[in-house]
Structure 1
Amino acid sequence: MKEKIKVFLDSDLLEKYLLGTATKQEEFQCERYIAMYPEVRETFDELQENLEEFAKMHALKSPEGLKEKIIARIRAENSGRKKFFKYAIAASFAALMFAGASYFFWDQNQNLQEQNTIVTNEIKDLKENMKQQLEDVRNQFIVLNNPQTRKLNVKGNQKAKDLKAVAYINPVKKLSYINVSKLPNLPESQVFQMWAEVNGEMVNLGVISEASDKEKLVALPYAENAVGYITIEPQGGNETPTVENIVANIKY
């Protein structure tokens, strides 16, 4: 019986149940195990608390100015309708002004359509960004709470003795993240940059900013026998890593 419970806890069914991605059959199994076995209930409560903390830490904010743009769009549309009605009445009494008024209305309509397209695209981009961020938060939650995740402590070499980071590798879910918790001071002309060698191809993961947010996880491309690097590069970053300036290796 204990082996049965262990197999259940080693799976990701509880995470899926909490995140609403489980099937009906999986939901029924989770609810039955939570009700029957205290250790499962205890694990479920702990995961639930962790998820609540994650939600608070990664609360998404709407882009600045979006509310004002939407309000401006509504006002512009209402204003456009009023102007159209006003000039339409005038046009019925002044046939000579019809051509000019028609062009004016057409131009107003074009402007409204352009504004509508801009706001619609911004809302679409916002939804896509939120979707990606929520997916990333979900993956982070799974990696940090799944018992099959390996935790690797990463330290810098002689060129960056104070560098400290932790990599989280989950071979089952094929997810990898790294948290750079401490960076040594560099001259203003230099920066730290992260790389990953995946299937023989070097992937640029970008410049590492000052480690002010110790809760931030950076996604690493996952592959069998992949290797990550941290290098010192000129300000602004480099297109290819400077091999002699490698200060840390991450094998995962």
Structure 2
Amino acid sequence: MEKKLQIFLQSGLLDKYILDESSTSESLKVEHYIETYPEVAYEYLKLQEHLEVLAKADAIEAPNFVLDQIKSTLATETIPVIKMARSKRRTPWYGIAASIVALLFAGGYYMKSEQNKALLDENQVVVDEIFDLRSDIEDNNTKLDDLMRQFMKLNNPETEKYVLRGNSRAKELKTVAYINAVEKTSMIDVVSTPQLSEDQFLHVWAEMNDHFVSLGILDPSQKDMQTLPYMEDALGISITIGPKDDTKNADNEVAEIALKGKNN
């Protein structure tokens, strides 16, 4: 370390710095040595003192008449005072380097944070899509199970198939009912329907010995099989078109069929 200081002190860089003749890189090096090594700081102060002494020694005293003229001029003229700009202290090179490193670190941290945020957003989207897909799969499995059960019921040897066609008042009407007396299930498939107004509905009825029992209202827009209540002693099935709270009568009946093995 002492050898390094000796080489620096003998290089003449400190003298050039005092005389303001050093380059930018040389100045940064000198300032680093001044702030790091007390020996260099001491030599720097000594050189400054010597320079000040030399300046005073070489100074030439101005004649008295010059001073009198200056005082006379100041008394008669108003001369604006110009503020001298204070010389800024040079920033040590390691301070600049530290600032650059800090900026690079901050920029890298910001970019990394943004990348992590984007990655988290992408992961969340993937997770949401997986949950949606899983939900769709579960819904499809449920629908497949329902279809499988319906298929098994329809293909059960005990299931009777009944086709109900509309009369002259509803020629476009066609439905197919599936009734299983063993498992006590009843379903109906709406194949086609006539044009209905907003206040008209398709009512399904079960014909009993001395009265009719409502089995509900059919939804023409539903493409899947619709379940109906099973009536143990039903003699037949009929369909009417009328208001939602309509009752069964001969005027609104558009289709009917007797169940097998039953007496009308």
Q: Which category of TM-score, normalised to the shorter sequence, fits these structures?
A: 0.3 to 0.5
Greater C-alpha Rg: 2
Alignment TM-score, normalising by the size of structure 2: 0.40
Structure number with the bigger relative contact order (C-alpha 8 A, sep ≥ 6) is 1
Alignment TM-score, normalising by the size of structure 1: 0.42
Q: Which has the higher helix share?
A: 1
